[in-house]
Amino acid sequence: IALWRYTGGHGHSLGAPPDLQSLPPDARFVQPLRLPGSAGPMAEIDLRAPLELSAQATQSNLFPGPATALWAYTARTAAGEALNPLLRARRGDSIDVGLRNRLNEDTTVHWHGLHVDEANDGSGLHPVAAGASRRYRLRVDNRAGLYWYHAHPHGRTGAQLQRGLAGLLLVEDEEELALRQRLGLRWGERDLPLMIADKQVDARNAIVYKDGADDWIGNRVLVNWTPEPYLDVIPAWYRFRLANVSNARMLRPCFLHEDKPLPMLLIGGDGGLLERAWPIDDLFLAPAQRADVLVDFGALAPGAKAVLRSLDYVAMENEDESGAFAPDPMGDHPGAVAMGEPLDLMELRVIECATQRPPAQLPSLDAMSAVPAPPDTAGWPVRALRLRMDEQGRWFINDWNFHLSGHEPAFTVKRGTREVWEIRNSMTSMPHPMHLHGFQFRVVSRAISPPDIRGRQVAANGLTAQDLGWSDTVVVWPGEIVRLAIDFSQPFQGVQRYMLHCHNLEHEDMGMMLTFAVAD
Ligand code: C2O
Ligand code: CU
């Protein structure tokens, strides 16, 4: 049995292990969760005015003791300096963001999840050299939802994100604002972003990264740039916009009170709201994925504590429906096991409600947004993409490895056409969160899914609740075959090049990425 598991910072073979912090239990949940504010990390900036960002080395007091060196997108605000600000835009807005690169190496701003043209996509095809500047100008035509932005230079994305170059982008529209009103929620109060990233942190509070590393798993968790925070909550429904911005750690978030899951509804994903809310206990959230959830603390008395935990899992036994080992469709060895270890991310402390308590009942969430069913793809051309590792431990998509194949487009898609991309993962592999630039897509089927995923099916063709909205990142589990429906319509002209890659950043940097072109 091929065993892939999180190593919590051990098992990296490059040089001496860093002197990592070990976290005494009483060091957890001592800092309040950082909320969207006016300066520092999580400062909010409205993109209605042009914005000047500078990518630079800076520092921030994240942990008790010495300040932590970070690489951050910084901006001036009325209240001071914003670090990796939380950007807000309205659907339909044209945004204009300048980037000044004050690092000693190439960087970019990639607008993860947005429908953009190549020049403004911020992929490694258009690096901004050390000392140089450029502007990103784009029209936000995505649905309301939580998107994000991050550095994307070739071969350095893992290093730059681990050091800090990432932030959230909230897109809003009328429908979203109306829903918030119906739910009686105010952004920044009971409607909160939870941007989760694990980091390897050494005894001097420095963030550690080894170039050329594999699957960088941290020993500390930052939620909104706060290590293992706590949040005071009143006994009521909350809305959390979860984003996993870790390099490589798959999360399985769950809100627990006395080890029992609190009532939770999944209402949205990468590309905005689902049509209706789905009750869930927990979900898988891979690097780059987002989830919009409602969580009910209403049954808890003041003084009670709950925890946001990433649950452990063994997601893979490669059984077929009858419980026998499924034959590997690609002829690999059967029997992979994907495992994750439990990790407490945040504590929730129930406090007395100072004002009138919000209603315990939610309004109907059966028709939140018009989201069509996954399309019938009969007759659409199918592009087969196979994920695999070679004997030398290099990752491939079909025969493409970004370093070996060069950066030329692997194929060209005709603009305005629709295709099925069938992504197959090898049985002996690990889950790969595959991300497509430039287009939100629909998941239309999952086959040979591991039992854990089969148990989450809520719709035909093996789809889980998370598959029922628009996505830009999809997890393909070991042995699994996931089919995506992609509509390559876009308002741009000429040849536009985009990337398809694994958003495990170490896989991406090791070449698990290809360029494709869209052209008339
Ligand atoms: Cu979030 Cu190609 O990236
Ligand atoms: Cu991968």
Atom index in ligand 1 nearest the CA of residue 123 equals 2
Would you say the CB of residue 154 lies under 6 angstroms from ligand 1? no
**Residue 358 resides in a domain:** no
Give the C-alpha separation, 509 to 505, whole Å.
6
Report CA(475)–ligand 2 centroid distance (Å).
9
Q: Which ligand is nearest to the CA of 243?
A: 1
Q: Are residues 49 and 156 in the same domain?
A: yes
Cα(433) to ligand 2 centroid in Å equals 6
What is the Cα gyration radius of the chain? 22
The ligand 1 atom at the shortest distance from the C-alpha of residue 112 is: 1
Point out the ligand nearest to the CA of residue 504. Answer: 2
CA of 435 to the centre of ligand 1 (A): 6
User: pLDDT digit string (tens) for 446-483?
Assistant: 998 887 888 899 999 999 999 999 999 999 998 899 99
Lowest mean pLDDT among 73-82, 117-126, 445-454: 445-454
Instruction: Say if residue 242 is in the same domain as residue 338.
Output: yes
Q: What is the pLDDT of residues 348-393, one digit of tens each?
A: 999 998 888 888 899 999 999 999 999 999 999 999 999 998 888 8
Distance (angstroms) between ligand 2 centre and the Cα of 393 equals 12
Amino acid 426: pLDDT:
85
Residues in the chain: 520
pLDDT at 28 over 70: yes
Kindly state if the Cβ of 501 falls inside 6 Å of ligand 1. Answer: yes
pLDDT average, residue stretch 289-294: 98
Query: What is the full DSSP assignment across 93-135?
Result: -EEEEEEEE-SSS-B--EEET----HHHH--TTS-B-TT-EEE
- Percent helix, strand, coil in the chain, to 5, is 10, 45, 50
Residue nearest ligand 1's atom 3 by CA: 112
Q: Is the CB of 507 under 6 A from ligand 1?
A: no
Domain that holds residue 59: 2-172
Distance 430 CA to ligand 2 centre (A): 7
CATH of the domain at 273: 2.60.40.420
Is there a single domain that holds both residue 111 and residue 210? no
Q: Are residues 93 and 33 in the same domain?
A: yes
Do 296 and 246 share a domain, yes or no?
A: yes
Give distance in angstroms: CA of 388 to centre of ligand 1: 20
505, containing H or E segment: helix 505-509
Which three-class secondary structure state does DSSP give residue 344? strand
Is residue 273 within 8 Å of 179, Cβ to Cβ?
yes
Question: Among 304, 329, 350, where does a domain finish?
Answer: 350
Same domain assignment for residues 263 and 395: no
Last residue of a domain, one of 306, 326, 350: 350
Residues 141 and 13 in one domain: yes
Residue 289 lies in a domain: yes
Give the DSSP H/E element, type plus range, for residue 179: helix 174-183
Look at residue 52 and tell me if it is in a domain.
yes
26: helix, coil or strand? helix
- First vs last C-alpha separation in the chain: 47
Asked, for residue 362, whether it belongs to a domain, the answer is: no
Max mean pLDDT among 25-39, 178-192, 323-337 falls in: 178-192
> Cα(467) to centroid of ligand 2, in Å?
19
Instruction: Name the residue at shortest CA distance from atom 1 of ligand 1.
Output: 112
Domain count, the chain: 3
Q: Can you give the pLDDT at residue 337?
A: 54
Of residues 27 and 267, the one with the higher pLDDT is 267
> Do residues 165 and 257 share a domain?
no
| Same domain? 343 vs 233 | yes
Residues 146 and 11 in one domain: yes
Q: Would the CB of 503 count as within 6 Å of ligand 1? A: yes
364 Cα to the center of ligand 2, angstroms: 38
Q: Tell me what the mean pLDDT of segment 194-208 comes to.
A: 95
152 touches ligand 1 (CB under 6 Å): yes
User: Which residues are paired to 442 by β-bridges?
Assistant: 485
Of the three residues 302, 333, 350, the one that is the final residue of a domain is 350
User: What does the alpha-carbon distance between residue 145 and residue 291 come to, in Å, rounded to a whole number?
Assistant: 9
Indicate the pLDDT class of residue 315, thresholds 50, 70 and 90: low
Domain-embedded: residue 399: yes
155 and 216 both lie in a single domain: no
Q: Is 435 in the pocket of ligand 1 (CB under 6 A)?
A: yes
What is d(CA 79, CA 331) in angstroms, rounded to the nearest whole number?
59
Residue 374 lies in a domain: no
Q: Counting ligands in written order, which one lies closest to the CA of residue 113? A: 1
Report whether residue 288 contacts ligand 1, using a CB cutoff of 6 Å: yes
Residue 371 lies in a domain: no
Torsion of CA 267, 273, 276, 278, to 10 degrees: -30
* pTM as predicted: 0.94
3-state secondary structure of 288: coil
121 within some domain: yes
Residue 46 sits in the same domain as residue 102 = yes
* Model pLDDT, residue 329: 47
Residue 62 backbone class (left: φ over 0; alpha: ψ -120 to 50; beta: rest): alpha
